[in-house]
Structure 1
Amino acid sequence: MSAPIVVQGLSPSGGRRVTINGQGVGLAHTDNDLVEFLRRAGLDDAWDLLDDAHWVEWQGGRAHRYEPA
């Protein structure tokens, strides 16, 4: 089973696309943006989920990095 939240690799201009259950929810430029997307989806404990691989899959780069290389 894959994680329901996917933080995709860095976009060329910075930021990372975020999907929840396969639905695009936005482009995060910081962990605060990501947490806000998760809160809007009803996950009030969003900060606790960011490093839980059962909930969040970080693709194409290190977790918590949003700047292009």
Structure 2
Amino acid sequence: MAPAIVVHRPSPSGGRRVTVNGTILGLAHSDRDLIEFLRRAGLENAEARVLGDAERIEWRGGHAHEYEAA
């Protein structure tokens, strides 16, 4: 079963909270941050998950790959 990766809505100050299976990994300000969080969490092919297969990540409250303040 694939992990539940969620990139939450942009915060008022910028950045998006990232969770995997409900565990907070951090506040991403770019795809580069997101890739690093997933890599540190031990997920294989983190870059492909972020840049190649949008169905594996749930982007909430905004467009995928946008991290600016809401």
Whether the TM-score (by the shorter chain) exceeds 0.5 is yes
Task: Pick the TM interval, shorter chain.
Answer: 0.7 to 0.9
Coordinate RMSD, CA, aligned: 1.3
2:49 matched residue in structure 1: 49
| Paired amino acid for 1:52 | A
CA displacement at 1:43 relative to structure 2 = 1.7
TM-score normalised to structure 1 length: 0.87
**Residue identity in the other structure for 2:54:** D
- Written as runs of structure 1 = structure 2, the 5 A alignment for 1:20-59 is 20-50=20-50, 51-53=53-55, 55-59=56-60
Deviation, 1:44, is: 3.4
Structure 2 Cα separation of the partners of residues 46 and 52 of structure 1: 12
Q: Secondary structure in 1 aligned to 2:54?
A: coil
Distance 2:69 2:22 in 1: 24
- Structure 1 moving runs of 4+ over 3 Å: none
Counterpart of 1:10? 10
For these two proteins, the number of residue pairs brought into alignment is 66
What percentage of aligned pairs have identical amino acids? 61
Aligned-pair CA distance for 1:15: 0.2
SS in 2 for 1:42: coil
Q: Which has the higher helix share?
A: 2
Show structure 1 runs of 5+ residues with no match.
none
Amino acid at match of 2:43: L
Q: Which secondary structure state, in structure 2, belongs to the residue aligned with residue 27 of structure 1?
A: strand
Counterpart-to-counterpart distance in 2, 1:19 and 1:49: 14
